[in-house]
Structure 1
Amino acid sequence: MSPTPQQRRAARHQLATGPVATRRGPAGARKKPITVDLIVDTAFAIVAAEGYDALTMRRLATTLETGPSSLYAHVVNKEDLDELLIGRLCARVALPEPDPATWRDQLVDVCTQLREQYLRYPGISQAAFAAAPTNLDTLRLAEGLLGILLAGGVPPQTAAWAIDALVLYVNAHTLEVSLARRRPARDDDTWVVSRDEVLRRFAALPETYPHTKRHADELTTGTPEDRFAFTVRLMVDGLVGSAQG
């Protein structure tokens, strides 16, 4: 049976209180000891430089000049590492004191902060998909969002599902933006076209696409930031009825 999150935390605590082995490089130079923080910092550096797809336990071990087995003394597996990475990013989000008067703006701000953290590390939001929020820092973010929603008068069940929907949208949005940003650097993605080219193609469509032809400008306008803010506010505004009901 896989260890529970509580068992993993306990194991890390025991390792942190014991002696830390000294490591030496090929020339005898002293190297930083392997710790959870060093593993997480190195993982972030790999993702920032090459994207989340480049992050594997083997690649991480190679970068740290050690073997994969030494990493498993600190993290249980790749999923455990993912949990730590997302937790670290969630910890950087500043949570406001829930305010019934400004709860909608507070929700948008928290989602925007999380978006900015994810976009620093291309594709990192993949680590958050289908992951149960068991890390304390991840739970802190969910707790903060729940507090804001409840302060706005949103019923508890609606608030719980709203958090899931909002976070899922942030994850999907940032993954799409990360993929789009990396495509121009790849030779096989010559099919990616500019907005002007999309407008030209829409204009050339047959008359069986009257709405697309007529509203091509609206369909293609707006930055990713514009579209993100619009969608989050649309979702949040949809909660107003439940808060007033």
Structure 2
Amino acid sequence: MNPRERRAARHQPPNAEVEAAPRRRRKTVFTPAQIVDTALALISVEGYEAVTMRRVAAALDTGPASLYAHVVNKSDLDELLIGRLCSEIALPQPDPAAWREQIRGVCGQIRDQYLRYPGVSRAALALAPTDLEVLRISEGMLAIMLAGGVAPQAAAWACDALLLYVAAYCLETSIRHQRATTADAPWVMDRDELRARLAGLPAASFPTIVAHAAELTAGDGHDRFDFTVALMIDALAPKM
């Protein structure tokens, strides 16, 4: 099979029949799983932006051509990366009485997976999913929302919106942490500094910002994430 045929085979259900093809002998044989393991190891140390097909090949002590025997291109690698992270997410059995909490829980799991690997959520943006593990998450979230009485169209768009927000939140968090290593990090990152700068604006021009500088800079940990996800989910609640 050529690389595109191999990619198509990976996206088949486990019981699907795939025509076998003779394999050529190789001095060193890599599997897609080993390639993903290597890419994730690079990301954990250097961030997602450092990962290229050439860098992954070098880490495996081989040339890019060896990778292209299994991975079509960088976009294919991106999907494999997100698929691996999605494979570690546990999906609950849909419960109509607890659907909001279940969706929040799934979003929280995805967030935590992305944050383990700085910047990897960029790979999820504009992703047209065909990987079965990525589709498993969409299937699970859709089933949970439908069980909760959310209209099918609203549930479908909400899945997309929630996954987009999680990816964007994690990407911004990774960028912020990266900037924290720069010399002017305290000026950029310190909450007290930011609050003081907002409160010190000319009140005549920015009366609302000055009055609510504390609220604008409030929030610890994932408070803002939890607030936004809950806001999006609550908007889906069936109208009685």
Q: How does 1:148-187 map to 2 (within 5 A)?
A: 148-187=144-183
Unaligned runs of 5+ in 2: 12-17
Q: 1:16 Cα deviation (Å)?
A: 9.7
CA distance 1:184–1:14, change in 2 (3 Å)? farther
1:177–1:224 CA contact under 8 A, matched in 2:
no
CA distance 1:163–1:139, change in 2 (3 Å)? same
Residues 1:219 and 2:216 are matched in the alignment:
yes
Task: Give the Cα–Cα distance (whole angstroms) in 2 for the partners of residues 107 and 133 of structure 1.
Answer: 20
Residues 1:236 and 2:233 are matched in the alignment:
yes
Equivalent in 73, 90, 115 of residue 111 of structure 2:
115
Residues 1:55 and 2:55 are matched in the alignment:
no
Residues 1:131 and 2:130 are matched in the alignment:
no
Q: TM-score, normalising length from structure 1?
A: 0.88
Q: 1:244 Cα deviation (Å)?
A: 3.1
Unaligned runs of 5+ in 1: 24-32
CA distance 1:143–1:127, change in 2 (3 Å)? same
Aligned identity (percent) is 55
Moved over 2 A (4+): 9-23, 186-191
Task: Give the Cα–Cα distance (whole angstroms) in 2 for the partners of residues 98 and 17 of structure 1.
Answer: 43
2:180–2:189 CA contact under 8 A, matched in 1:
no
Q: TM-score, normalising length from structure 2?
A: 0.89
Task: Give the Cα–Cα distance (whole angstroms) in 2 for the partners of residues 77 and 217 of structure 1.
Answer: 47
Residues 1:70 and 2:66 are matched in the alignment:
yes
Q: How does 1:74-89 map to 2 (within 5 A)?
A: 74-89=70-85
Q: Deviations over 1:177-221 (max 9, x none)?
A: 111111122347675241111121112110211111111111101
The aligned counterpart of 1:27 is none
Task: Give the Cα–Cα distance (whole angstroms) in 1 for the partners of residues 82 and 197 of structure 2.
Answer: 40
Task: Give the Cα–Cα distance (whole angstroms) in 2 for the partners of residues 244 and 20 of structure 1.
Answer: 62
Task: Give the Cα–Cα distance (whole angstroms) in 2 for the partners of residues 149 and 231 of structure 1.
Answer: 17
CA distance 1:51–1:17, change in 2 (3 Å)? farther
Equivalent in 37, 40, 47 of residue 36 of structure 2:
40
Report the RMSD for the aligned CA atoms in angstroms.
2.4
CA distance 1:163–1:20, change in 2 (3 Å)? farther
Aligned length, in residue pairs = 232
The aligned counterpart of 1:28 is none
